Amino acid sequence: MNSDADVGLPGIVLQEVLSGIRSEEQFSDLERRLVNAFTILHAQTPDHVEAARLKNRCLAKGLTASGPDCLIATLTIAGNHILFALDDDFRAIAKHSDLKLVSTSGFAV
């Protein structure tokens, strides 16, 4: 992976990261840092449709994939990006789609 590559953050991930932060000061600080550090990838109607299609393909293969995970995968595929994720669900989704993942073999969870 190119060290000069832009790093994007799907809006749904931004939402999930910020959810549950009870201190408005901490929330605002983290929001500012994330929005300034990453390109936020916004989903459009066709992305949601394709995410549903991907989820249905996964279900047909016996994989229970969440809607948000399928949306993240869809945004990654549509933008020809590579996803960094430590979640095994994305490895399973990649088996049934064109999702490309960053190798995480050196990372501990």
* Residue-range domains of the chain with CATH: 8-95 (3.40.50.1010)
Helix or strand run (H / E) with residue 36: helix 24-37
Contact between residue 94 and residue 57 where contact means Cβ atoms under 8 Å apart: no
pLDDT in tens, 1-34: 455 667 889 999 999 999 999 999 999 999 999 9
Q: Model's pTM, two decimal places?
A: 0.84
CA dihedral sign, ordered 40, 45, 49, 55? positive
Contact between residue 71 and residue 10 where contact means Cβ atoms under 8 Å apart: yes
Per the prediction, the chain carries an average pLDDT of: 90
pLDDT in tens, 27-79: 999 999 999 999 999 999 999 999 999 999 999 999 999 999 999 999 999 99
